Amino acid sequence: MEIVLKVNGVERRVDTDPDTPLLWVIRESLSLTGTKFGCGIGACGACTVHVNGTAVRSCSVAAVTVQNQAITTIEGLATVAGPAGGLQLHAVQAAWVAQQVPQCGYCQSGMIMAVVALLQQIPAPTDAQIDAQVTNICRCGTYERVRRAIHSLSSQPSAAEESGRLS
Ligand code: FES
Ligand code: FES
């Protein structure tokens, strides 16, 4: 069947089975491979994207159920800036670079998407709020650096405002 998805502001038409998870449509039909497969059962968060600004585990959502809703993947976070068309990182991505958060990097797309959604709700979260809402699993154990990067953003009011532009 043909479905219509709005991904990173662009309308995309895709032929897929009714029960195909959003993750596989994003990765295989749309070739947006920044969103990762980890567990496939909604447990690890590697596949996290936004649907209407809310963090969603795309392995556990049928693509057909999110037609015509605003889907954002990691590829949609940075914005094109300047006459040369260079990419300007989202504030959360910039904080990840500054704080050297990733190790192997595999989980980090989903981690960043979860954090952007968290900061939309809670601009200056405590460690307890981070732990409660960002339940993504990182096998490299970058949790402390994730917290540090989030707190570095919390001290910059503009970072939370930038997260708000994705809603
Ligand atoms: S692959 Fe979706 S939660 Fe693990
Ligand atoms: S950075 Fe390696 S799994 Fe998280």
- Ligand 2 centroid to residue 84 C-alpha, Å: 33
CB of 153 within 8 A of CB of 99? no
Q: Which fold has domain 2-74?
A: Ubiquitin-like (UB roll) (3.10.20)
Q: What is the pLDDT of residue 76?
A: 96
Q: Is 39 touching ligand 1 by the criterion CB < 6 Å?
A: yes
Is the shortest distance between the CB of 44 and ligand 1 below 6 Å?
Answer: yes
Q: Please name which of 152, 71, 139 lies closest in space to residue 111, comparing C-alpha atoms.
A: 139
Q: Give just the sign of the alpha carbon dihedral 150, 154, 159, 165.
A: positive
- Nearest Cα to Cα of residue 108 among 121, 122, 90, 125: 90
pLDDT at 18 (0 to 100): 93
User: What's the CA gap between 78 and 89, in Å, rounded?
Assistant: 4
Distance from the CA of 144 to the center of ligand 2, in angstroms?
12
Q: What is the pLDDT of residue 157?
A: 52
The full set of domain ranges for the chain reads: 2-74, 79-164
Cβ atoms of residues 8 and 76 within 8 Å: yes
State whether the beta carbon of 43 lies less than 6 angstroms from ligand 1.
Answer: yes
Q: Which residue has the tokens 């809703």?
A: 69
Tally of CB atoms within 10 A around 141: 10
Indicate the CATH number of 79-164 among 1.10.150.120, 3.40.630.10, 2.40.128.260, 1.10.357.140.
1.10.150.120
* Ligand 2 neighbour 145 (Cβ under 6 A): no
Q: How far apart are the first and last CA of the chain?
A: 29
pLDDT tens string, the chain, 167 residues long: the values are 999 999 999 999 999 999 999 999 999 999 999 999 999 999 999 999 999 999 999 999 999 999 999 999 999 999 877 777 788 999 999 999 999 999 999 999 999 999 999 999 999 999 999 999 999 999 999 999 999 999 999 876 544 455 554 43
Q: How far is the CA of 108 from the centre of ligand 1 (A)?
A: 12
Pick the closest to residue 53 from 79, 72, 66 (CA basis): 72
CB 77 within 8 A of CB 111: no
Return the ligand 1 atom nearest residue 45 CA.
3
**Cα 116 from chain centre:** 7
CA of 110 to the centre of ligand 1 (A): 9
Distance from the alpha carbon of residue 109 to the mean position of ligand 2, in angstroms: 10
Q: What is the pLDDT of residue 167?
A: 35
For ligand 1, say whether the CB of 110 is within 6 Å of any of its atoms. Answer: no
